[in-house]
Amino acid sequence: MSVTYEHSVLHPTLASAQLPRRVRRALEQVYNLVADEMAHALERMLAEFEQQQFRHADQAASPGLQQAHFDTLRLLRQNRADLIPEYLGGLEAALAGIRDPSPAADMAPRRLTFNDLRLIEDHELDEGSVLRAIASRHESRTSLPLHLLGQRFGVLAGAPAYEAERLPIGPQRLSNIFAKASRVLQIDLQPRLELFHCFDHYALNGYAQLVEAVNATLARENILPHLAYVPVRIRPTLASELSGEAGRERRERARTQASRGEQPYTGWFGGEESEHEGSEDFTLLQEMLASRRDLLSKLTPGNNEAASRSQLSTDDVMQALARMQNSAREPVADATEHPPRSVQEVRQALLSQGGKTHGRTASLSRDDNDAFELLAILLSEIQRDLRQDAPGNRLVHRLMVPLLRLVLKDRGFFVQQSHPARQLLNAVAESSATWVSEDEVDPHLNDQLSHAVDDVVSHYEGDPGVFEAANQRVQHHLQSMARRAEVAERRHVDAARGKEKLELAKRRAGEVIAEASQGHKLPRFVQTLLANSWADVLTLVQLRNGEDSDEWPQHVEMTSAIVSATSLNHPASAPADLAAHIEHALTLVGYHASEATDIARRLTAHADDDENDPASRTELAMRLKARGRLGQDASPPKPHLAPRDEREQAAYEMLRSLPFGAWFEFVLNQQGDVRRQRLSWYSPMTDHALFVNQRGQRVGEQSLDSLARAVASGQARIVTADHSSLVDRAWHSALGALRGFVGGKESTGEPQA
């Protein structure tokens, strides 16, 4: 069933809507934010959908199905330029109509009769169910942010709070707008349903972060700026479920399930965090630390002075850390003194000062000591992935004391991935990560990070808003970097797509020549001319006009005529105008008139006629050999490799299912140094893969085959979403070490608390 579409009337705009000035300004801010994000997301979605149709065509079970997928590809390429403008127009119209009366309110209820009933078309049922499922899934994932957004949109509309289904940027409205906009593609029902799933997985992949950003934008516009909702948290039940043997089994089972469902990371440096939060409760972390201390105490017996020590209160520790932070703001007078370089040095300095004040050895409380130990373990793991001579290394040390003051009051730093201080620490650390090469370093980013850390050190006095403000400035810069990287990446992807189209056109030209030559014995020189000069002609026609044009069947017919005219076993007379058409076609691909005339004569002459002039044939062969061909690849031919083994084949099939934008880590040397590169695009048809760095610059191209062999041998690995950021990676390593101590305690037969 083919779908036809006619462009609708112009969509209402925010500029023409009858709205108060402040409401219009706020809605314009929302539109600019959502339109920018959705436009980029829709570009990625269309690229993935195109590749999906390529894969379907490649794996089609019948020629009819294959042709259907190629028809979808043709319509997609023909109409894709209209999709995003149509979608953004519908989005702006939805926002502009925020104060329009609801259609349900204008319609007077009437009694339904039997004549009002009708059978629903299959496409209405299928599309409706898919769209409802998409909207329902995203509404359940973002119920709280959508609730807050509904309150704010109610204020903008001068009406009661909006439900999720009425929100102009809610999942349901966004999906319905896309369904209407996608009609411009004019594709059939089944591809449309597949397109809706691509919209779900790619365009709405970052919807949770988008809703949070819109809430933050409206809050900055003073639309309910202090609106918040705090759900009731039943901590005792959670703690009881996470303790004991049953809790350990449950956590292990959850970790196993999570590892099976690891998703590749496709964001940019400083991009959106993975959706899941840390599953470890702070109480559980304290249990792990207690097990660690118990095990270490067995290795160092006789250390029982804790009872005689004076315990420092949290306020005393905070005041001492404040003095230490103040001293870091000023230049050191004594050159022999240096600020503490580790959490342990800070701890020792605090205990030394406390001992002098109280007259006996001091100690920290259990909670404070746990916070110190957790931060020490985390920073130690982070240091493993930092280049020692990089600016970020120094900035991490400068953040240490403010972070200690923070974690003594806010344990959420350890268990919340979205914590502003944790995000700031991650941005600082990742700027100097070992996987970032020298040519990827951004001096402007280093300046932003340095200013952010200076602000925290200078102004943090217990207000978490200091970290939040510094992090917002850094994240804004990172988002700008990501947009620039996407623009640069898109140029390289477009170039790679052009190379793919050229390669596919050359393959199709070879297929046409092979089909026409089947059953015919041709002179060797004619075979050379067909495989080179005439193949260039067919390639150009395929690229410029496509197989649906009038020119393509004409050139296919000319190919058959050339083969028949030069055949040694089934010769036939060439049409009178064949040589003229060949000559004209050759001039279009850059042949000189004399060369084109000579080649046309030889492609239409009988073998006996051509044998009488070997000297001119040799001269022509030399000229053609020195001449560059259409789309000729100057790289040396690839060596023939052995067939893939079982592991390499599994890796190859996995790679062909990856989303565009997946990050890889490539091992550089025997020391284990790695570089991160982004798989921007690949072609299942040509096996070609394009890689860029974190700035969107092209860093390499290789085949999926060679990449699969590297993955199977451990020389390349996919970066997963839950290990994408440096801090998350370090935190997982720290938790693994702590669980090792818990396991050691269990193996000694100690009773569990």
pLDDT of residue 609: 52
Classify residue 696 by its DSSP letter. S
pLDDT of residue 561: 92
β-strands 662-667, 674-682 pairing? antiparallel
Distance CA 217, CA 213 (A): 6
DSSP labels, 639-665: PP-PPP-HHHHHHHHHHTTPPTTEEEE
CA nearest 425: which of 436, 415, 434, 413? 413
pLDDT of residue 338: 54
The values of phi and psi at residue 278, to 5°, are -60, 135
Q: Does the pLDDT at position 649 exceed 90?
A: yes
pLDDT of residue 738: 73
pLDDT in tens, 603-646: 988 765 555 456 566 767 777 766 656 655 545 556 677 888 99
For the segment 205-231, the average pLDDT, to the nearest whole number, is 82
pLDDT of residue 232: 37
Amino acid letter, 619: E
Q: Which domains does the chain have, with CATH numbers?
A: 21-101+122-220 (no CATH), 275-298+311-330+340-489+731-747 (no CATH), 494-626 (no CATH), 646-724 (2.30.30)
pLDDT of residue 238: 34
Q: Taking a C-beta distance cutoff of 8 angstroms, is the pair 172, 109 a contact?
A: no
pLDDT of residue 334: 45
pLDDT of residue 312: 85
Cα Rg of the chain, angstroms: 33
Q: Does the pLDDT at position 263 exceed 90?
A: no
pLDDT of residue 137: 85
pLDDT of residue 89: 93
Q: Taking a C-beta distance cutoff of 8 angstroms, is the pair 396, 450 a contact?
A: no
Confidence of residue 344 (pLDDT cuts 50, 70, 90): confident
Distance CA 641, CA 706 (A): 10
List the structure tokens of 68: 């259907």
Q: Does the pLDDT at position 55 exceed 90?
A: no
pLDDT in tens, 154-195: 889 888 888 888 899 999 999 999 999 999 999 988 899 999
pLDDT of residue 748: 41
pLDDT of residue 46: 92
For the segment 384-413, the average pLDDT, to the nearest whole number, is 88
CB-based contacts of 460, cutoff 8 Å, min separation 6: 325, 402, 405, 406, 466, 467
Q: Does the pLDDT at position 391 exceed 80?
A: yes
pLDDT of residue 581: 92
CA nearest 265: which of 725, 668, 654, 710? 725
For the segment 582-610, the average pLDDT, to the nearest whole number, is 83
Q: Taking a C-beta distance cutoff of 8 angstroms, is the pair 174, 137 a contact?
A: no
| End-to-end Cα, the chain, rounded Å | 67
pLDDT of residue 385: 85
pLDDT of residue 402: 94
H-type helices in 604-698, by residue range?
607-610, 614-626, 646-655
pLDDT of residue 747: 42
Q: Does the pLDDT at position 324 exceed 70?
A: yes
Confidence of residue 313 (pLDDT cuts 50, 70, 90): confident
CA nearest 471: which of 399, 412, 375, 374? 399
Q: Taking a C-beta distance cutoff of 8 angstroms, is the pair 48, 198 a contact?
A: yes
For the segment 367-393, the average pLDDT, to the nearest whole number, is 86
Residue keyed to tokens 């807050």: 148
pLDDT of residue 606: 73
Question: Which range is least confidently modeled, 113-127, 431-445, 652-666?
Answer: 113-127
